């Protein structure tokens, strides 16, 4: 098929604005899947993705559509992850397209992440087709949303498609708009091959499967290919397209989107953003935009039952097969024993991995509070990158500490500007900018320490704005801060896994809060448990978990022994989920307590 009849596009939307539903309707409308095969939200394949209503991994599907002009078009939809943790993946998916649907909820208007993704799309020179979704809602105000799109993004929204993916309104119009407005791919089949990798997954039989967009040239089985950034070569065994299930074809031509397999064993060799070229006739330069992704958030993962260490290791290795951004290396904690320090793109990524480990591998895990990477400048001139608070050198050895900062963009109704600013100041933010998007909505920009974002900024932002605020952030660099390590002692013994790095001015307050919170989390045991928060040798807060007074089933007759046994089993099960540190049994959530205060 000529590139003239190919269209590649993505959908940009805020969570809940209807991206997956629109994708489903497009698939349904073009008959890519029969009604029987249709399951709601086809593209969000992972169980977790469905439950959370988010896309974690990019997916793609090829649609065949006969347009009103009578011609048949091959339309590739590349679904993008919808969360700030995965911005880089989004940018690469967008780079594989010529156009994007900008889906905005007719009642909610534009949100911060949508905006960030629209800017990414504009940077990639994508043709943007505004779609105003959920117009059937009683509170829908499409005109207002059109104005917002025009005022905020500067896009002409007069032709915006009015849609209701739920009822199917506007689906045909969207397809027509894609055909008419999204440019067909440029590039030439005769040029040397260059193809952009926008995702990959590991298949037990085929090895790593790279998801690619062919920019120039073509890919056929038998070709020898090279990945430019990793310099890995492989021979193509299969090429194919997404229907959305994988379907082999003979050749992936210029402008097309599909997959390439070639017994590549390590997912790390197939990096998102890298360029695939012909090993025998390579291009001179890779496609622009590649960067190595580095985790921003680190935490310790420990099995509650130390016998599960190997299972955890296997599980992490298996997950890594599909997720090159997940990093882990063994670490040891005095309190928790053997485990792993893991690096994630962000909190959601961390949450998802943790949940998958527990669900898919039936592991019971302890997650320590997430940490960013601190740069510690020692008095002897050495510079350390610290991702685990317990590894911080003693104060005497430290000259100063730098921490990562982000540029945070918040979009909020103007009634909440005060709340957002107050919160951001409290979180050590530096005000940068404030802009009215329209008469009622404001975009506020702050520079904030990343540690505050992963601490509780987003939750607090949501609650102080009644859920109206949306947030986007990007890393901008490192700044020096006055930071100290806050230690927690249980029953007189420091528990390394509970240490956190905090700003000096907040240490006392955090210490008190944390001690108080732990008091609520640690169940009463047969003896009294003092909880102390300390900086260095100085105890700054103290709480006590009082001793349990009594614990016995009083009534045990009527002959229903099974029920009593089950009660005891449940109690024992709860105990098994706790970690014994010294004499003290500590529940899993205690290690995340620092995130749950306020």
Per CB under 8 A, residues contacting another protein are: 526, 546, 548-562, 564-565, 568-569, 571-572, 575
H or E segment to which residue 485 belongs: strand 483-490
Nearer CB in complex with another protein: 36/549: 549
Closest CA to 346 of 324, 370, 323: 370
**Which of 186/544 has CB closer to another protein?**
544
Supply the DSSP symbol for 456: I
Q: Where are the beta strands (DSSP E) in 157-218?
A: 161-162, 194-203, 207-216
Q: Which is nearer to another protein, 180 or 575 (CB)?
A: 575
Q: How far is the CB of 311 from another protein (least distance, A)?
A: 20
The CA distance from 111 to 96, in Å, is: 24
* Cβ proximity to another protein, 35 vs 526, nearer residue: 526
Strand 327-333: give its sheet, edge to edge.
327-333, 337-344, 297-303, 365-367
In the complex, the smallest distance separating the C-beta of residue 310 from another protein, rounded to whole angstroms, is 23
Rounded to a whole number of angstroms, the minimum distance from the CB of residue 520 to another protein is 16
Strands 224-227 and 232-235: antiparallel
| Smallest separation, CB 582 to another protein (Å) | 15
Residues 6+ apart with CB under 8 A from 166: 18, 21, 134, 136
| Nearest C-alpha neighbor of 89 from the set 324, 286, 272, 271 | 272
Range list of β-strands (E), 536-576: 538-545
CA distances from 591 to 351, 359, 512, 518, 579 (A): 14, 20, 16, 9, 10
CA gap 255, 197 in Å, rounded: 13
Q: C-beta of 491: minimal distance to another protein in Å?
A: 15
Kindly tell me which of 334 and 561 has the beta carbon lying closer to another protein: 561
Residue 524 CB, shortest distance to another protein, in Å, is 9
As given in the structure block, the two tokens for residue 291 are 């960067």
CB of 591 to another protein, least distance (A): 24
For residue 39, the minimal CB distance to another protein (Å) is 36
- In sequence order, what are the residues at sequence separation of 6 or more whose Cβ sits closer than 8 angstroms to the Cβ of residue 385? 373, 374, 375, 376
Q: Minimum distance between the CB of residue 305 and another protein, rounded to whole angstroms?
A: 14
Give the nearer residue to another protein in terms of CB position, either 35 or 554: 554
Residue 154 exposed, middle or buried by CB count within 10 Å (0-12, 13-18, 19+)? exposed
Least spacing, CB of residue 562 vs another protein, in Å? 6
> In this structure, are residues 410 and 439 in contact, taking their beta carbons and an 8 Å threshold?
no
**Nearest distance from C-beta of residue 579 to another protein, angstroms:** 17
C-beta closer to another protein: residue 36 or 550: 550
In the complex, least distance from residue 564 CB atom to another protein, rounded to whole angstroms:
8
Q: Which residue has the tokens 């500490």?
A: 401
What is the sign, positive or negative, of the torsion defined by CA atoms of 29, 15, 201, 316?
negative
Cβ closest to another protein, residue 400 vs residue 570: 570
- Residue 237 vs 525, nearer CB to another protein: 525
Nearer to another protein, 36 or 555 (CB): 555
Under 8 Å between Cβ of 212 and 258: yes
For another protein, the closer of residues 189 and 582 by Cβ is 582
Residue number with CB closer to another protein (205 or 557): 557
- 249 three-state secondary structure: strand
**C-beta closer to another protein: residue 66 or 556:** 556
Query: Which residue number, 1 or 556, has a Cβ lying nearer to another protein?
Result: 556
Angle at which helix 19-30 crosses helix 171-181, to 10 degrees, equals: 80
Cα gap 516→541, rounded to integer Å? 9
Nearest to 331 by CA among 355, 379, 366: 366
- Report the candidate in 242, 174, 179 with the shortest Cα–Cα distance to residue 210: 242
Question: What's the rounded Cα separation, in Å, for the pair 98 and 213?
Answer: 11
Distance CA 258, CA 256 (A): 7
Rounded distance between C-alpha atoms, residue 47 and residue 199, angstroms? 19
CB of 567 to another protein, least distance (A): 8
């Amino acid at each position: 098929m000529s590139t003239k009849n190919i269209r590649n596009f993505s959908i940009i939307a805020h969570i809940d604005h209807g991206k997956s539903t629109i994708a489903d309707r497009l698939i349904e409308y073009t008959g890519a899947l029969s009604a029987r095969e249709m399951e709601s939200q086809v593209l969000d394949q992972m169980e977790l993705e469905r439950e959370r209503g988010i896309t974690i991994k990019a997916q793609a599907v090829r649609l065949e559509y006969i347009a009103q002009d009578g011609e048949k078009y091959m339309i590739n939809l590349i679904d993008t992850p919808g969360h700030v943790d995965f911005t880089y993946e989004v940018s690469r998916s967008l780079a594989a397209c010529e156009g994007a649907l900008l889906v905005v909820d007719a009642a909610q208007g534009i949100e911060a992440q949508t905006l960030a993704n629209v800017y990414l799309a504009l940077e990639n020179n994508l043709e943007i087709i505004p779609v105003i979704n959920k117009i059937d809602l009683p509170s829908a105000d499409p005109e207002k949303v059109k104005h917002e799109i025009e005022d905020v993004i500067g896009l002409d929204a007069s032709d915006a498609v009015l849609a209701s993916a739920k009822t199917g309104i506007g689906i045909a119009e969207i397809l027509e708009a894609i055909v008419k407005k999204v440019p067909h791919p440029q590039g030439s089949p005769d040029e040397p091959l260059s193809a952009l990798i926008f995702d990959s997954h590991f298949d037990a039989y085929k090895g790593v499967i790279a998801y690619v967009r062919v920019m120039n040239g073509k890919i056929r089985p038998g070709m020898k290919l090279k990945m430019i950034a990793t310099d890995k070569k492989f021979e193509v065994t299969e090429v194919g397209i997404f229907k959305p299930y994988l379907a082999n074809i003979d050749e992936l031509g210029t402008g097309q989107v599909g997959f390439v397999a070639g017994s590549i064993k390590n997912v790390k060799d197939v990096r998102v953003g890298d360029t695939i070229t012909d090993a025998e006739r390579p291009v001179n330069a890779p496609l622009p935009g590649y960067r190595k992704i580095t985790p921003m958030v680190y935490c310790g993962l420990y099995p509650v039952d130390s016998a599960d260490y190997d299972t955890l290791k296997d599980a992490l290795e298996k997950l890594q097969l599909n997720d090159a951004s997940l990093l882990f290396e063994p670490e040891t904690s005095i309190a928790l024993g053997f485990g792993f320090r893991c690096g994630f793109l962000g909190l959601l990524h961390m949450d998802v991995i943790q949940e998958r480990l527990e669900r898919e591998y039936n592991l019971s895990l302890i997650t320590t509070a997430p940490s960013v990477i601190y740069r510690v400048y020692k008095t002897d001139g050495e510079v350390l990158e610290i991702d685990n608070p317990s590894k911080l050198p003693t104060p005497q050895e430290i000259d100063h500490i730098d921490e990562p900062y982000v540029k945070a963009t918040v979009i909020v109704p103007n009634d909440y500007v005060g709340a957002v600013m107050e919160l951001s100041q409290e979180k050590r933010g530096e005000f940068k900018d404030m802009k009215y998007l329209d008469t009622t909505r404001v975009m506020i920009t702050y520079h904030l320490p990343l540690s505050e974002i992963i601490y509780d900024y987003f939750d607090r932002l949501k609650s102080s704005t009644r859920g109206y605020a949306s947030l986007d952030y990007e890393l901008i660099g490192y700044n020096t801060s006055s930071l100290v390590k806050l230690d927690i002692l249980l029953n007189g013994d420091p528990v390394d896994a509970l240490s956190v790095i905090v700003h000096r001015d907040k240490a006392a307050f955090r210490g008190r809060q944390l001690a108080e919170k732990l008091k609520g989390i640690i169940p009463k045991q047969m003896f009294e448990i003092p909880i102390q928060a300390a900086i260095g040798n100085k105890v700054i807060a103290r709480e006590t978990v009082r001793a349990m007074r009594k614990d016995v089933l009083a009534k045990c007759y009527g002959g229903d022994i099974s029920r009593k046994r089950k009660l005891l089993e449940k109690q024992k099960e709860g105990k098994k989920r706790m970690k014994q540190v010294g004499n003290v049994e500590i529940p899993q959530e205690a290690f995340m307590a620092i995130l749950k205060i306020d």
